[in-house]
Amino acid sequence: MTTFYGDRNDGSINGPSGDVSKAHTAFLSLIDVAGTESFSSLTGTQPFTSAGLGATIGCLRKGDGDVVPDLATCQLASGASSGRYDTTGTAVGAYLVNNQNMKGDSSTADTGAIVVTFDSAVHAFGFFGTDIGDFGGTFSIVLTDVQGNQTTLDLVSGAALDNSSLLFFGFVDSKNSYKSVMFTNLYPPTQANDGFGLDDFVVGTLADVPPNPTPEPLTALLVLAGLGAAGAARRARR
């Protein structure tokens, strides 16, 4: 698996730039884009059917051993709100927000998740995230492959990023294919959880000839992300 990560933590609300753009461009260079979802054409409440991705996007609440749909866990939004915003480049474009209900309730057994379930397994997936990490906690994605094996990648841990931050993450796996991607945002039971935005999902097939230079491996990227988290200050906001 090759992964791509870049973030911008300057408090601005605008489109991809800097390390975010570099990670996005490097990811796209290894794939032939098979589908996208900007959320601008979706309406109603979840679960959403994304024809562009060939996937269902649902929000779940897990508690007492059950996994049930939770309409309050995420919804579509537009414009800029509490540091979350559209990354497609259209001022009125929509994006997905978690509505600050990822924990479900105060029980440690109740944690929410946003799950993308693909109609056909994919080898590559990428997304933009806004306003992640300013309340601490651990923002992760969980990849489930076609054999049912799960891989958890912690993308942001602790108060690593501030309000209005922007990140891009993508992965390309030439050997394994995946049937779902789950987003989680976990916090200690006594700590308030955080809202964030997701936008511009991309799935792809492997390009015929990988270009140079070879992107950084997962371990190096996550170490760099961890070093960045160590010096970041927490900013409280709603």
Residue 106 has pLDDT above 80, yes or no: no
| SS (HEC) of the chain | CEEEEEEECCCCCCCCCHHHHHHHHHHHHCEEEEEEECCCCCCCCCCEEECCCCEEEEEEEEECCEEEECCCCCEEEECCECCECCCCCCCCCEEEECCCCCCCCCCCCCEEEEEEEEEEEECEEEEEEECCCCCCCEEEEEEEECCCCEEEEEEEECCCCCCCCEEEEEEECCCCCEEEEEEEEECCCCCCCCCCEEEEEEEEEECCCCCCCCCCEHHHHHHHHHHHHHCCCCCCCC
Q: Is the pLDDT of residue 129 over 90?
A: yes
- Domains located in the chain, CATH noted: 2-230 (2.60.120.260)
Q: What is the pTM of this model?
A: 0.81
Lowest mean pLDDT among 50-54, 72-76, 143-147: 72-76
Q: How confident is the model at residue 201, as a pLDDT?
A: 97
Q: According to the model, what pLDDT value does residue 225 have?
A: 43
User: What pLDDT, on the 0 to 100 scale, is given for residue 223?
Assistant: 41
| 198-218 confidence digits (pLDDT tens) | 999 999 988 864 444 455 555
